[in-house]
Amino acid sequence: MEVTVSGKHIEVTEAIREYASEKAKRAARYFNGVTSMDVIIDKTDSHTYGCELIAHINGHDNFVATGAHDDLYACIDETSSKIERQIHDHKEKIKNHKHH
């Protein structure tokens, strides 16, 4: 699975890139249909960071999660938790639908 990490108004260091990639890959482990993920990190003002995670899934519209926090790493954690929940719920919906 391909993970793209980019930044708006912020320089994405190698440490940030590795951390965001690891979190994105962790979120994708719930469902095999995830083909790629985009992580967009933004510095909205002098003290707030924003993060957007976009999961591209086979046979379904993209899942999008956004978050904002004063700490960049906490922002990435919050956003990855949101996308994990969306992917997990989608998988459960498919799994339960097949049994009815």
Q: What CATH number should be reported for the domain holding residue 85?
A: 3.30.160.100
Q: Is residue 50 domain-resident? A: yes
Q: What is the pLDDT of residue 98?
A: 64
Report the pLDDT averaged over residues 4-31.
93
Q: How would residue 23 be classed by pLDDT, with cut points 50, 70 and 90?
A: very high
| 29 inside domain | yes
CA distance 23 to 93: 23
Q: For residue range 33-88, what is the model confidence (pLDDT) as tens digits?
A: 899 999 999 998 889 999 999 999 888 899 999 999 999 999 999 999 999 999 98
Q: Is 5's pLDDT higher than 90?
A: yes
Give the residue-averaged pLDDT of 5-19.
96
| Residue numbers of the domain that contains 22 | 2-95
Please count the structural domains in the chain: 1
Does 48 map to a domain?
yes
User: What is the CA angle 43-49-54, rounded to 5?
Assistant: 95
Q: For residue 38, give both structure tokens.
A: 């985009």
Q: In what order do the strands lie in the sheet with 49-57?
A: 2-8, 34-43, 49-57, 63-69
